Amino acid sequence: MENNNSVKESYLGCDEEDDDSYDAIVVGSGYGGSVAACRMSMAGIKVCLLEKGRKWEAQDFPTDSLRLLSSVRFEDKSLGFGLGSKDALFQIRKEHDSVAVTACGLGGGSLVNAGVMLPTPVRARRNPKWPKEWESDWKSCEASASSMLNIQSVPVKFANAKTMEKLMVGDEFKETSSLKLSINFDVEEQGTLTHLKRPKEIGSCIACGNCVAGCPYNAKNSTDKNYLFSAVEAGCIIKTDCEVRYVVKNPKDTNILGKRARRWRVYLNETDYLQSDFVILSAGVFGTADLLFRSQLRGLELSSRLGEGFSCNGNNSAYLAGCTTSLGAYGLHKEQFSKTSFQERPGPAISSSYISSLGFTIQSGVLPTAYPYLIFKGILTYGWPTGFWFLHGVIDKLKLSFGLKSTQAMTLNVMGYDESDGKITFDKSRDKINFTPPNDPLLPRKIMSLQKLTKKLGGILFMSRYRSTSVHLLGGCNASSDHFSGVCNSNGQVFDTKSPSSVHSGLYVCDASLIPCSIGINPCLTIATASEHVSRHLIQDIIKTHVGDEGKDSMDESDDNKRGSICSWKLERKSRCDVRFTEVMRGHIDGMPCVAHLELKMNAQSIKDFDEGSMDFGKSHPLLRGIVSGYLDFNALERDRLYVIDGEVDLCEVDIRTPYTQFMHYRLLLVASSGSRYILEGKKVMKPFLLGLYGWKESTTLQVTFKKVEKNDPSEEMVDLKGVLHISTFALMRSLISMEGNNKMKFLSLLLQSIFRTYIIQKPRGNFIGSLHVEPVDGPYPSSTLHEIRTEDGFVISCRQWKIKTDDSLRFGRSKNSYPVLLINGYSTDSFWLPTEENDLVRTLLDKGHETWLLQPRLHPLNSSNSFTIEDIGRFDIPAAIDKILKLNEKSTKIHVVAHCVGGLAIHIAIMGGHVSATRIASLSCTNSSMFFKLTTFSRFKMWLPLLPITMMILGRNTILPILKTTKANLNQKLVKFVARFIPRYERCNCDECEVFSGIFGNAFWHDNVTSSLHSWINKKNLPSLPMGGFPHLRKICNAGFIVDSKGNNSYLIHAERISLPTLYISGGRTLLSTPQTSLLGNKYMKLHQPNFRHERVVVDGFGHSDLLIGEESCKKVFPHILSHMGLAEKEENLEYDGNEKEYFSGYGQFEDGELVFKSWVSSSMIIWFLLFLLVLCLVIFHK
């Protein structure tokens, strides 16, 4: 008694500890799913059963027409929509000339069928389509199913059965001798027939005739009272109100604990899923087919026979009315029980069955009191004989109103053998399945037999208007020997398409979908028998899979006495603390239109354990992190939708290298129906530039990369695309309206707080770069020699030399040594010699056999001058360095030059000014510089303002500005540094030295491209001071856009004939400081004036300014271009150049970050006024 009470309580509520991972998940609870769940649970396997419908108690079943109509869902394809609840007890589908009726609830069709249990006919088992493997244990499986369902013979021949017996005498019909029902006629007896426990509420049949509306007296042995009850007793977890949408293979190999991940994900909607190693689809013929079609669209490879071989079991129905003979085929109300003895009652819905010699079966049925009889009289039927049948209903009502005896009626259920050639398809536009019924060659004979019965009784026959009216659906996922002729094998395993008989490990079908042909009689026992067969092999497969695996221990150690539970997933979901909303973003990827329909579920499951203080260290709140589902319409790439099968989002992600920047990071794994997988990764980059003037643009713009997941197939085309998606204002409003969840207000509050912190407060997050300790790389840096060189004007500069060892020269095995390479840095900071990095350009050149020289001119902190120009470097420093290199390398007549930024301007001044002959230079490579120097709009505007003249006036004679925070500075220098910290820049940093330098010069690199150790080395060691003397000349060059002399005159571009050498100009595709126009104009200039030399241009995506040389990925993406250019120059030295230039472009100009902000809805005039305000503020501070 205590045990039963415990189970009953578990029906009412959920377990608090909800685990989303199971050994096996069963979808559906009819004669297939209930069998599988029971057998696995009793074997000690951790099982979860999911049921779309609710749990129906006896008192819940409809007993009148109004309640019954509220329990019906009707779908008509021609209408385009459905009427009624999606989880209604009765599901009616109409397709053209056919109607199919199914049930929805815990127990499936067993809740509302007549419970007729007949053994599978020999004719069906001899069908060529019937799996031969089933015959080996069919009898024992049938016996097991019969025992569990407790099938019993009808103890009394009720009035309806007697009438049918008289009608069938002497005809071509004979009575079915083995008719049994899954109905309890004797509770005491049934308790002794099985050793299994039964629910204490189970009752005995009172012969009311209301079976097919659901038994209100708990007398029917539906699967929830045997198989499912036993499963719960054995520990099965059952979730009702839980519709499964599709299943996909788990894209992850391991879980969060590092253990092997479950094989499958079972999605309950677009965002919620459960995981298991085995999935058993038992959702009925339509439900299972729908699941597999949806899964196929998400990349699951299935047989092309899916949906074929559909059978309606030759099922038709008729309504016989207007009979004066007592038929006893009306159900009874409670009030009529006392007036009617048990023997005189209608009895079960079906208590007699007759089979024709032609091969079809006719069964008389009792109409429940809840059924609205009018629908059988002309609405869904037509009458026979014709002429006056439509008046029958009116006449019958008149008789009843005058107190006369009304006529009798009964239903007639007909089954037979159709051709099993129907088809189930999936309509992508409607997102629903369609079905076409099979051909039924016996249909005319069935109608003739029914008309013959009508003549004998003298009534009116109301035949269904539809060619097929079926409640016995079979097939669609037919069992077969290979995927060319079926969807599953005889054990229910779903075929994949790798080989004829290979299967998807752990994916099973276990319901009527497996039956490959008509049964000819009520198929309930056949379905349960086939499910018993599948379950036996399923359990063997599970045990075999867990042998030697850690999962076996968990199975063996599970508590055998732990009972399962039945709970409503709908109620469970409402109690959760997550937030859900949709997002629709539109844009273009590589010029191709793309629309992303996303559903976001922001998780708050760990909200109780989350430390609010951890947000200051870069970790976002759980409500700002979640999972993403949905799909992409990207028809230029894939014809069908690309579905998200694994997506993550963090709306407040922080990179430790950029603590002021907030990222909204999306990462989506997409799959197409073709099986191809793609990864879309996108970020909304939110930087505190100009106090959030671009916040709207940045927070609604997703910059994406789109790549195809490789399958190790060399013939497969690679896909690597880039683009931008936007969410419109209208779409954003719809997202807010669609938002649901208990914590949606808190979510909005946290999101707005994070945006306010990023743009307004500008408070950094995370462990900052400036506090990181600089660790040298493994192994000593190659030794070098520092040469002091006196220039023509008497200034002493230095040049560091790295020689090639003798052993290295032999290793390269060249007939002559490669030319030495001269490296010229940008303004002050080193870009080539980076002791903290494993692969800087110096190491790379040495490894390739080039003697390397690094120029340290008068703007270098070691040789700082108070007064100099860029022209001085080109006129004096570079010629002196080249003379020194060639003097020490007597065998070399030329050198390669690699220059960056200001160094590139200086080398062009040296050559085009006639200070260095082009015959002494083998090749020239410049990064973000040429004879042109084009800045971003903001940098150009800053140079146009008189900020630099004012700064130089403040500094006075001592123009060397100490950068290190620990270095002493005078009042003027402190004032300059103070103002520099407030100058807007696109990317902020918590390092004070970096903030001062970028305030004066502008951001020189994207922080996420450089390592933290290099960032600390550059700002804490490499740049102790900044010589400001060269800035006035640099300002004139920036304002002109090309190299000019110190007076601002164009003295160099007019001498194009002097720069007769091969060139390579490299720009960053992610614009910062200087734009790709710099390299474009330089490349065009050289092609125009020096066509006999090779000229290359490269735009490297993802890089900005100096990070082209100091970036973590520079050795892979930038250095190869420089090495290739130098190598080709040496090979072509003695050959005539063919005139073919090369140009590489890996960025996408309209989306360059530095320019993007000035193409938004915020006008340039607003920015100009804002900067003028800052200028005035600086002047006020200065005058004070």
Measured at the alpha carbon of residue 1170, what is the angle toward residues 1167 and 1176, in degrees to the nearest 5?
A: 140
Please tell me the distance from the alpha carbon of residue 1025 to that of residue 955, in angstroms, as a whole number: 14
- Six-digit token string for 1024: 């102790």
Higher pLDDT, 774 or 1018: 1018
Q: How far is CA 810 from CA 117, 802, 842, 894, 910, in A?
A: 90, 17, 20, 22, 35
Can you tell me the mean pLDDT for 196-200? 68
Q: If 0-12 CB within 10 Å is exposed, 13-18 middle and 19+ buried, where does residue 1130 land?
A: middle
Distance of CA 1148 to the CA centre of its chain: 26
Pairing between β-strand 90-95 and β-strand 72-76 as defined by DSSP bridges = parallel
What φ, ψ does residue 385 adopt, rounded to 5°?
-70, 155
Q: What is residue 583's DSSP assignment?
A: E
> Which range, of 343-347, 395-399, 922-926, averages the lowest pLDDT?
395-399
Before 385, cis peptide (omega within 30)?
Answer: yes
Q: If 0-12 CB within 10 Å is exposed, 13-18 middle and 19+ buried, where does residue 832 land?
A: buried
Q: Say if residue 713's pLDDT is above 80.
A: no
CB of 862 closer than 8 Å to CB of 798: yes
Reported confidence tier of residue 179, pLDDT bands at 50, 70, 90: confident
Can you tell me the mean pLDDT for 703-710? 92
Please tell me the distance from the alpha carbon of residue 1033 to that of residue 1043, in angstroms, as a whole number: 10
- Six-digit token string for 664: 């909204």
Pairing between β-strand 72-76 and β-strand 81-83 as defined by DSSP bridges = antiparallel
Can you tell me the mean pLDDT for 818-840? 93
**3-state class of 912 per DSSP?**
helix
Residue at 416: amino acid letter: G
Burial 60-85 (b: 16+ CB within 10 A, else e): ebbbebeebbebbbbbeeeeeebebe
Q: pLDDT tens digits for 644-690?
A: 999 999 999 998 889 999 999 999 999 999 889 999 999 999 999 88
SS (H, E, C) 605-642: CCHHHCCHHHHHHCCCCHHHEEEEEEEEECCCCCCCCE
Alpha helix positions (H), 1090-1152: 1107-1110, 1114-1117, 1119-1131
- Give the model's pLDDT for residue 562: 74
The terminus-to-terminus CA distance of the chain in angstroms comes to: 92
Q: Say if residue 1182's pLDDT is above 50.
A: no
Q: What is residue 983's DSSP assignment?
A: S
- Give the model's pLDDT for residue 119: 95
Please tell me the distance from the alpha carbon of residue 825 to that of residue 820, in angstroms, as a whole number: 16
- Give the model's pLDDT for residue 1148: 41
Q: What is residue 476's DSSP assignment?
A: S
Pairing between β-strand 852-856 and β-strand 960-962 as defined by DSSP bridges = unpaired
Q: Say if residue 471's pLDDT is above 90.
A: yes
pTM: 0.83
Q: What mean pLDDT value characterizes the chain?
A: 86
Q: pLDDT tens digits for 476-499?
A: 999 999 999 999 999 999 999 999
Can you tell me the mean pLDDT for 717-744? 91
Higher pLDDT, 279 or 561: 279
Q: Among residues of the chain, what percentage have pLDDT more than 90?
A: 64
Q: Say if residue 1147's pLDDT is above 90.
A: no
Number of helices (H) and strands (E), helices first, in the chain?
A: 34, 45
Higher pLDDT, 142 or 17: 142
Q: Say if residue 772's pLDDT is above 50.
A: no
Pairing between β-strand 72-76 and β-strand 468-470 as defined by DSSP bridges = unpaired
Q: How far is CA 306 from CA 95, 303, 484, 1102, in A?
A: 19, 6, 10, 46
- Give the model's pLDDT for residue 1160: 37
Q: What is residue 1074's DSSP assignment?
A: B
Domains, the chain, ranges and CATH?
2-312+473-568 (3.50.50.60), 316-323+338-470 (no CATH), 576-767 (no CATH), 785-934+1041-1158 (3.40.50.1820), 937-1032 (no CATH)
Q: Which of 269, 379, 263, 306 is nearest to 25 (CA)?
A: 263
Please tell me the distance from the alpha carbon of residue 650 to that of residue 683, in angstroms, as a whole number: 10
Q: Of the segments 11-25, 124-138, 164-178, 535-549, which one has the largest average pLDDT value?
A: 124-138
> Which range, of 252-261, 632-641, 755-764, averages the lowest pLDDT?
252-261
Q: Which of 414, 419, 394 is nearest to 310 (CA)?
A: 419
Please tell me the distance from the alpha carbon of residue 350 to that of residue 342, in angstroms, as a whole number: 16
Reported confidence tier of residue 604, pLDDT bands at 50, 70, 90: low
Q: pLDDT tens digits for 540-587?
A: 999 998 765 554 444 544 455 578 899 988 877 776 778 999 999 999
What φ, ψ does residue 1104 adopt, rounded to 5°?
-105, -100
- Give the model's pLDDT for residue 1080: 96
Can you tell me the mean pLDDT for 271-282? 95
